[in-house]
Structure 1
Amino acid sequence: MKLGMMLLLAITTPVIASPPSLSVFTHSQVLTDFELDSMKGKYTNNGQDYYFGLQMQTQFIQDNGVQQQVGMQIELSQVDNQPSINITISDPNAVDSQNGFQLDSLGQSAGLQQRIQIAGSENLAVNELDMAQGRLVPLLQGINIAVGTTLVSQSGDTTFSANANTVGYQIALASSNVSQGINYQDGNGQLVQSIFIDGLNQGVINQSTIRYDGMPVGPIQSNILGRQISDLTSLGF
């Protein structure tokens, strides 16, 4: 009985904590701006103007010798605290379509995802990504499309999507399938570049170009991609 009372007193009696030791900061140093820039994340001032652009282009040649190029560009900016988005595609003759598509991502991991599958010989397949500070040049023969739309090319082989969770395009040919775009699902953002070829003497080059301006990012640039994909969702994606 006395032992139980002693245990109860030990549990209910508050413990007075000693003040934390500050000795660990004795030899601390202030980080430079360059070191802060290299840390994960991005740093912007309240109301700061910034720019983020993604241009996707695909060049391909089919086994019959027909060559084609497809392109799409997304630009996100903030001027005077007002966010804006501009989406253009390379086909001025594209028409509205009800047939959307979902980019095929590799699991739930975020960031850049590249896929190449080839069945056959004498084929070429390349996925490329370039990232640098600056701004994109206007897309050649580009036309603006509205958020929430899906269009199909005049030839009928390319679908452009600016819908929720999928911003990009898919090219469906007789013996190949190519796609590029932003895929956002379950809280993860991905830039997907995918090439599938089944046949002979075909060539596909996927190129994605990222440009950013108005924000210091330091040597760690890849985090900008994930952050800006997240920002796109706040505008309706």
Structure 2
Amino acid sequence: MKLSMMLLLTIVTPAMASSPSLSVFTHSQVLTDFELDAMKGKYTNNGQDYYFGLQMQTQFIQDNGVQQQVGMQIEISQIDNRPSINITISDPDAVDSQNEFNIDSLGQSAGLQQRIQIAGNENLAVNELDMAQGRLASLPQGVSIALGTTLVSQNGDTTFSTNPNTMGYQIELASGKASQGLNYQDGNGQLVQSIFIDGLSHSVINQSTIRYDGMPVGPIQSNILGRQISDLTALGF
């Protein structure tokens, strides 16, 4: 306390400055927790352990009768001040690929973006998001992949990407395509769910599941999407 007082006197005394005016704060108001939760960024204690997980799964049936499920899971955690990221995909037979793709976003808005375009009859297309506190179970038959990787499934219809600006997958359907992933561009982070069908008798369901633990989210849950997607840049994304 004495050292702090001496430092304060050392700074103030030579200048003989008057106390600053506090009139600017006359009409200020204390922000509520609801408003703080809506602000960009997170409020965590130093050294606090936390967890953020995103699981993306797509189930589809094509007009040729092919039925398949594709999945990808991204988990970010900090334990004992050590951040880590773990990425798994549902295809253990996927191989390295030079093919790259970008998930197109709808404008510059951050957060969840869902898109469905259908041309044809007897088609089903659904985008779903579930978000709650907790942790994800392991992805069935999941195999770990590294950042900066592009893989293609053995049958060649699905491309997985963990490259800059796009982390997710794209499925080439018999008549169309489906994709899910994290998109980061121009300072905005988006979770994109997209389905395009141009044909008959397709059924496509995109499901994204978000789980978080160790961090207060508050009533405005959607903002956590932009926050955590932005955090990926600090881990090499």
Write the letter of the residue equivalent to 2:149.
T
Distance 1:64 1:236, change over 3 A: same
Write the letter of the residue equivalent to 1:154.
Q
- Cα pair 1:37 1:219 within 8 Å, conserved: no
- Cα pair 2:38 2:223 within 8 Å, conserved: no
- For the residues of structure 1 that align with 2:195 and 2:31, how far apart are their CA atoms? 48
Gaps of at least 5 residues in structure 1 are: 1-16
Q: Which residue of 2 is the match for residue 169 of structure 1?
A: 169
Q: Which residue of 1 is the match for residue 225 of structure 2?
A: 225
- For the residues of structure 2 that align with 1:199 and 1:171, how far apart are their CA atoms? 15
Write the letter of the residue equivalent to 2:153.
S
Identity level (%): 78
Secondary structure at the aligned position of 1:127 is classed as: strand
Q: Which residue of 2 is the match for residue 150 of structure 1?
A: 150
Distance 1:22 1:50, change over 3 A: closer
Secondary structure at the aligned position of 2:127 is classed as: strand
- Considering only aligned residues, what root-mean-square deviation do their CA atoms show, in Å? 2.0
Deviation at 1:40, TM superposition (A): 3.1
- Cα pair 2:113 2:192 within 8 Å, conserved: yes
- Cα pair 2:88 2:139 within 8 Å, conserved: yes
Q: Which residue of 2 is the match for residue 53 of structure 1?
A: 53
- Cα pair 1:60 1:202 within 8 Å, conserved: yes
Query: Which structure has the greater CA radius of gyration?
Result: 1
Secondary structure at the aligned position of 1:234 is classed as: helix
Match of 1:20 among 15, 19, 23: 23
TM-score, with normalisation over the residues of structure 2? 0.86
Gaps of at least 5 residues in structure 2 are: 1-19
- For the residues of structure 2 that align with 1:211 and 1:150, how far apart are their CA atoms? 25
- For the residues of structure 2 that align with 1:161 and 1:198, how far apart are their CA atoms? 24
- Cα pair 1:37 1:216 within 8 Å, conserved: no
- For the residues of structure 1 that align with 2:55 and 2:31, how far apart are their CA atoms? 39
- Larger mean CA deviation between 105-114 and 152-161 belongs to 105-114
Q: Which residue of 2 is the match for residue 68 of structure 1?
A: 68
> 1:1-237 maps to which residues of 2 (within 5 A)?
20=23, 24=27, 35=34, 38-41=37-40, 42-237=42-237
Alignment size in residue pairs = 217
Write the letter of the residue equivalent to 1:100.
E
Write the letter of the residue equivalent to 1:118.
I
Distance 1:179 1:30, change over 3 A: closer
Deviation at 1:110, TM superposition (A): 1.3
Distance 1:122 1:50, change over 3 A: same
Distance 1:29 1:116, change over 3 A: closer
Deviations 1:96-135 (A, max 9, x none): 0010111111122211111100000000000011110000
Deviations 1:65-123 (A, max 9, x none): 21100000000001111110000000000000010111111122211111100000000
Distance 1:36 1:110, change over 3 A: closer
Write the letter of the residue equivalent to 1:62.
Q
Question: Moved runs in structure 1, 4+ residues, more than 4 A?
Answer: 21-25, 28-31, 34-39
- Cα pair 1:37 1:217 within 8 Å, conserved: no
- For the residues of structure 1 that align with 2:138 and 2:188, how far apart are their CA atoms? 28
